[in-house]
Structure 1
């Protein structure tokens, strides 16, 4: 694993969280940040019967969504101020049913570069009674890093 670039300022991590949580899909899913640091992000999503294919078991789309958000947010956590990113490729492997009180996704940077960042996330189903975590999916993704207008103007100056 390539170590992430220098740690961003706490204000950059707060901006990342605000940007992610402002997305309509993140709001719809009920995502919340548990932790955010350079190269690592942890998100939670409550169980929502509207996203289930049968009572108490989330459909794969919801599992994919939290995994994608966690991985790409981790990639975003190492970007310079003014930059953003977007998913360009993913693969998701489902390994167990997504059932419990919530899903917990831990995203991480695998390799950060200027143009592309390879990132990953593991998704855990959290048992309602015991809090025990069961791995239910793993995702590997590539995020395209996009220089913002402010960052581009500063680089040209």
Structure 2
């Protein structure tokens, strides 16, 4: 697949700034790994308060990570002065998620002027490697930013 191009030379700073200004993202406490045009990696350290009773990361947290990763990947391709918002996402949980960290890797599948479709794979990571624990499709609506 050919490398995607972005119209925003400050796409990395834009994505980090937009996401880290969101209270939900700050609450989850994740960090960014790789950010490239059409691709984003989000890293969530293991925290007990994000787990179910058995110590596995709760499914809603996996869905949130997939949503953020897919949405951020789409955000790297936005024109300056535009933002995006999730209109739909579907997550399939494939395996329990428990490890030192959870890594969500989002990528753009099809970019458009109004909507962008992205996918995200979520992995649990421990000392033995990575395990694919969820996969998702994320649909983002691109909108011209407005000033309040």
TM-score band, normalised by the shorter chain? over 0.9
| Equivalence for 1:76 | 75
Cα contact 2:114–2:143 (8 A) shared by 1: yes
1:66 aligns with 2:65: yes
Distance 1:4 1:112, change over 3 A: farther
- Structure 1 unaligned residues grouped into runs of 5+: 151-157
TM-aligned CA deviation for residue 12 of structure 1:
2.6
For residues 1-157 of structure 1, the aligned pairs below 5 Å read: 4-6=4-6, 8-9=8-9, 11-127=10-126, 129-130=127-128, 132-149=129-146
RMSD: 1.7
TM-aligned CA deviation for residue 15 of structure 1:
1.7
Cα distance between partner residues in 2 of 1:34 and 1:8: 19
Cα contact 1:75–1:118 (8 A) shared by 2: yes
Cα distance between partner residues in 1 of 2:141 and 2:4: 16
Identify, as 1 or 2, the structure richer in helix: 1
Tell me the TM-score normalized by structure 1.
0.87
Segments of 4+ moved more than 4 angstroms = none
Tell me the TM-score normalized by structure 2.
0.93
- Structure 2 unaligned residues grouped into runs of 5+: none
Tell me, what secondary structure is at the counterpart of 2:60? Answer: helix
Corresponding residue pairs, total: 147
Cα contact 1:36–1:42 (8 A) shared by 2: yes
Larger radius of gyration: 1
Cα distance between partner residues in 2 of 1:49 and 1:79: 35
